[in-house]
A and B are shown apart, each in its own frame.
Chain A
Amino acid sequence: MCLAIPAKIETIEGNKAEVDIRGLKRSIGLHMMPDARVGEFVLIHAGFAIQRIDPKEAEETYRLLEETGITIT
């Protein structure tokens, strides 16, 4: 039930936003993220943006993963 999927905010009007989920367009609620901006990535759950998703952190985590794997203790 706690599945949330990443989407990109395309337009904002009041507390509603149009988002792109891998090509699929949806209208979602921004009630929990009143300061969200167009172009940001958010996690969508039950028709609402619940949190930002940070592309830089995603890159950084992946880079660390690649590295952690190499050193075997």
Chain B
Amino acid sequence: MINLDKFRDPVVAAKLVKRIEGLCDGPYAFMEVCGTHTMAISQFGIRGLIPGSIKLLSGPGCPVCVTSLYDIDRMIAIAGLKDVIFTTFGDMIRVPGSHSSLREARSQGADVRILYSPLDALQIAAENPQKQVVFAGVGFETTSPTIIATVLEAKEKGIGNFSVYPAFKTVPNALKAILESGKTKIDGFLCPGHVSAIIGSRPYQFIPAEYHIPCVIAGFEPLDILESIVMLLEQLRSHKKDGLAFSVQTEYRRGVPDAGNPNALAMLDKVTEPCTAEWRAIGSIPETGLCFRNEYVSFDAAKRFEIKVEPAKEPVGCICGQVMMGLHQPDECPMFGKNCTPESPVGPCMVSSEGACAAWYKYGTGN
């Protein structure tokens, strides 16, 4: 078996920390844009290892956290329809909508099932021809191809009682929106490793080219994250010293070819097209969603079912949106750890196991 345990080697970690200390020449803010990074940074106490002058901000890295209330409310409404089996990845089920959650809907009798793979939904659809099986299409570029592959298989096998509620999000233009907002000072991005396994390194090129900010595509082990910080600092230093231009580098080379996964990208392009998406607590961002193309619109659960929901109601006082924009750290929210905990979450960043607030609550602030 491939041995990745050594990417946790404490001796090498100590060396990398020394290197970071040697290189760090300023207060810097680096943003990670992947919930799995958010978790790893908290879990391995990376904030406590590196100099305090480096601030690690959590961006909108969790597709669950950024699913709009409108979409959640509509998914709950579909789950409550007669003869619907609503299927989803586990992280979605606890997320509170305006009035309820999928879990509450289930306890009130809706047939809501947690699946490990969207392919399992096809099995359920085949076994229950008299029912409608709907899958919650939530995910970044890592996940959307798995759901789209399932749609293609449904089409091929003629499984007509399967559909997907499309709430997909794509990462690069979301980063653009954060940069365009001009509110957050960001000196470098730790780009998401598994999103990049699909999209490759090229879609981030505009960040160094147009915004003059270095990017490093990072793996998920502690050494990967430390090394990625080293790479960002080295870019900043050689820019300062020798005027070298910033670039997109890949630390996570073992899983990210520059071209990504062309098969997965072709599948996405065949079935969906970019559209404007609503990001919870952030707002609507052009070209960050994936909508079904006309030829596949029969698989769109949002169109298949007639649903009307009341206007969405955001939880009062939750500053998730500002946390995900890097404007605030979770413990700056007055409700953090008081009336908002993973057991009774107020906002999505505390619900999702990889949300910034949940990671800080579970592992401490690490400062």
Supposing A1-B354, A48-B117, A72-B18 touch, asked if A65 and B12 sit within 8 A by C-beta, the answer is yes
- In the complex, chain B residues whose CB is within 8 Å of the CB of A60: 253
Q: Tell me the complex Cα distance, A28–B257, Å.
A: 22
Cβ contact of A57, chosen from B7, B16, B224, B253, cutoff 8 A: B253
With A1-B354, A46-B117, A69-B12 given, is the CB distance from A62 to B7 under 8 Å?
A: yes
Across the interface, B253 reaches (CB within 8 A) one of A28, A48, A54, namely A54
Check A32 against B261 for contact (C-beta < 8 Å): yes
CA distance A36 to B260 in the complex (A): 15
CA distance A57 to B4 in the complex (A): 11
Verify if B22 is at the interface (C-beta below 8 Å from A).
Answer: yes
Q: Measured between alpha carbons, how far is A50 from B262 in the docked complex, in Å?
A: 11
B35 touches A1 (CB 8 A): yes
How far apart sit A31 and B144, CA to CA, in the bound complex (Å)?
13
A57 to B224, CA, bound (A): 13
* Distance, CA A29 to CA B143, complexed state (A): 13
Does chain A have a CB within 8 A of B348? Answer: no
Chain A nearest CB: distance from B7 CB in Å? 7
A55: nearest residue on chain B (CB-CB)?
A: B2
CB pair A1–B143 under 8 Å, yes or no, is yes
Per the bound structure, the CA–CA distance linking A71 and B39 in Å amounts to 29
Bound-complex Cα distance A72 to B233 (A): 13
User: What are the residues of chain B within 8 A of A62 when measuring CB–CB?
Assistant: 6-7, 223
In angstroms, Cα B255 to Cα A22, docked, is 18
Say yes or no for A66: interface residue by CB 8 A criterion: yes
Q: Output the least CB separation between B324 and chain A (Å).
A: 15
> Chain A, 28-60, contact with B by CB distance < 8 Å: what is the 0/1 string?
110111100000010101111011111101101
With known contacts A1-B62, A2-B140, A32-B264, A43–B194 Cβ distance under 8 A: yes
**Chain B residues near A33 (CB-CB < 8 A):** 261, 263
Residues on A with beta carbons closer than 8 Å to the beta carbon of B253: 54, 57, 60-61
Identity of the chain B residue whose Cβ is nearest the Cβ of A21 in the assembled complex? B1
Asked if B143 and A2 make an inter-chain contact with CB atoms under 8 angstroms apart, the answer reads yes
Q: Which partner residue on chain A sits nearest B223 by CB separation? A: A65
> Which residues on A sit within 8 Å (CB–CB) of B62?
1
Measured between beta carbons, the chain A residues less than 8 angstroms from B193 are 2
Report the minimum CB–CB distance from B49 to chain A (whole Å): 13
Please, which residues of chain B bring their CB within 8 A of the CB of A2?
Answer: 34-36, 63, 139-140, 142-143, 192-195
Say how far B355's CB is from chain A's closest CB, in angstroms: 11
Say which residue of A20, A45, A52, A61 sits within 8 Å of B143 (CB atoms): A45
Whether A73 contacts B22 in the complex (CB less than 8 A), given A47-B120, A50-B146, A53-B2, comes out as: yes
CA distance A50 to B19 in the complex (A): 33
Nearest-neighbour CB distance to chain B for A23, whole angstroms, equals 8
Residues of A within 8 A of B257 (CB): 51-52
B254 with A61: CB separation less than 8 A: yes
Which chain A residues lie closer than 8 Å to B70 at the CB level? none
B4-A6 in contact (CB<8A) = yes
List A contacts of B147 (CB < 8 A).
Answer: 46
Chain A residues lying within 8 Å of B349, measured Cβ to Cβ, are none
Q: Which residues of A have CB within 8 Å of B91?
A: 1
A58 to B145, CA, bound (A): 25
Say which residue of A4, A22, A57, A61 sits within 8 Å of B142 (CB atoms): A4
- Measured CB to CB, the closest approach of chain A to B116, in angstroms, equals 6
| B167 at the A interface (CB under 8 A) | no
B residues contacting A by CB (< 8 A) are 1-2, 4, 6-7, 12, 14-16, 18-19, 22-23, 34-36, 62-64, 89, 91, 116-120, 138-140, 142-143, 145-147, 149, 152-153, 192-195, 197-198, 219-220, 223-224, 227, 230, 251, 253-257, 260-261, 263-264, 267, 352, 354
The 6 closest A-B pairs by CB, nearest first: A69-B15, A47-B117, A31-B149, A51-B197, A57-B254, A58-B254
Complex A-B: 12 CB contacts under 8 Å: A1-B91, A1-B143, A4-B142, A48-B149, A50-B261, A52-B257, A53-B2, A60-B253, A61-B251, A70-B15, A72-B18, A73-B22
